[in-house]
A and B are shown apart, each in its own frame.
Chain A
């Protein structure tokens, strides 16, 4: 297979294949992204549902607690409330100005109350509960001064400036607060006399309540089956988890969301056993490549089919050409005989008479014409098969041109041509006589066929410094600009209505140019204002 054909072949197969592969991968990847996005949205929704559950639990607890605390302003009432309510660990009471009045270090305090004051001292000093918003966005743990003396707290509490705090009675809320152990939740409520009554939640009990509300994991049917949801505190310690998947220690969660206030320093993490890959999975990749290959195979099939068709047609065409050449070859020898004997008769007949002479000249002319035609065909065939060879022999340009002109003279005269012959190449040189004959013969044949309207033809020859020139000029209709190059193409015939019906094979100029070029020269159509001028140049060796 020729390289150019191979290149086309490859291009036909590879280019679409590459396009399909690229498109396929892009589509697959986009789809994967969409699936992953939807999955992430689903998981996030699920986590948010859990968060909602926890938030509702906290709301309920706050309602219970604030109801209890509304009547717990007095120390005894507060201690009773703390003793009965498992969720509460310690209590506090602030007066309307925000000053801590219970536990009161100056009066009686139990050991646990003392410890509570030591732990929470900074809160009461700064009156953070009353005057600042709780650290909603705070994730980092504050460091609390350790073991602040209880008396110290009491003193500062008493000496602080009173600042009013306006809140509606019955209002309640959370105050998340960070100690060395992590998050500690304070619940507060405003009682009818504007006192702020609050309590610190038992961290363990709060976590236990939340765990109680969250799903457990059935061994038979764990949910989620191939994933795990974990609740983590502000120090990223796992508090509780459920699901059928047990991730390795260092695993990262696929999706994490923070809980709502007041537990917004806690997170819910989702671990997936088989997370959706971002981008193309192995299966999709295989699918895309497989279908692209199938497509490529189909294209290959087509390409092979068309190539074989092409070869077949080439073979058929070649057969035809070979046949034509064979036929022409078969015709050549009998024709040569006919010409020979006709010319002999012309010479040898004593006194033929007008009619006999005319008959003979017709036979001779027509045989010559046939010879030329066959020569053309055979030469053309040889050119196509690249088997043409030149046979340069000594001779004179003028003599050859003259003899060709001679053979055309009758036909030209019949058409009313005025013939001008200006030979100027009398010197002997070495050239291929048959080639020159064919060239000039074809040019004159064209003039005869197409330039009859001009009724004039001029043939010039010249010879200098190794180049022989022959110019054939006529005053015919000329050659339109748009076909000036096409006329040299094989089988091209300018379709001119004036010469409709004229026979011709369309290979004359092709042969003439090829022969001229083979001879080291060229055949060109020169620019003329009217008519046509063909200029032949041949490279010759002067003797």
Chain B
């Protein structure tokens, strides 16, 4: 029997107002384009770099008709020199200089390398890489050459799985109930540029969303068989509960309904390991002061929790008793956990590992 005595709870943010900081950094050195303290919008480009272009290889031996050890002294360009298509990299004079054999660069770029076997490497033109602010906020920190930290006060709703990149748009709730599917018929020309919310979706819904150019979709759950299709959509999707037929948890639904019509940012990026990242929805809200951050710490009575596994997946409640010695569950295992009073008032046992603390 495995008895995980985990005292450090898993947590999920479904937070109406908090200080949020997001790092916006390049993967290679570049240039930061905004100043400390600047106000930025989600589509403000905050930093830019250049991604090295493709490498082209040229056999100077073959072009010039000389052995490898003779090539180096025929070079007419040095390492790092800029090149245009046709620029001579090396040249051989024959017949007392009357004939010249040239080795021209095939592309515009830089002379990147050369080796003893007579090969030259030409690096094609770099491609620009930009990173945006993603959220509306203020530049709170600048990391020279790499990026910034953007800070804002707002709502944060985290999901568990997503696909696609980042986008911004107006939040739109087209369902009245957390379990109600988002129908294709609810998506029309007015949906363009919006981040739409629903309990679940079908293939028809996704097609309609793509056709009408929504900015993103926030769903409670999805059939696992649709993952491949969703991963190829041209906009981000964030699932709040997981796979199957699970309604949006009540706090998230109520918060999203409250923020219907607000500008929002959505990220579908999901990295389950080696740098764990969750999909999220962030809505900037202007208030004088968000509530003080509650310290984490071990599980305790009164904690609001979100259940993340069967048989009560997606439900929310409050811890009313700790059951440290464990309880034998339907699977036959004896697991430590707690008694949770659900919002429906039912009291159920849930193992610690199957809970997230609500923040």
Does A pair with B? no
Chain A contacts to B: CB under 8 angstroms: none
Chain B interface residues (CB < 8 Å from chain A): none
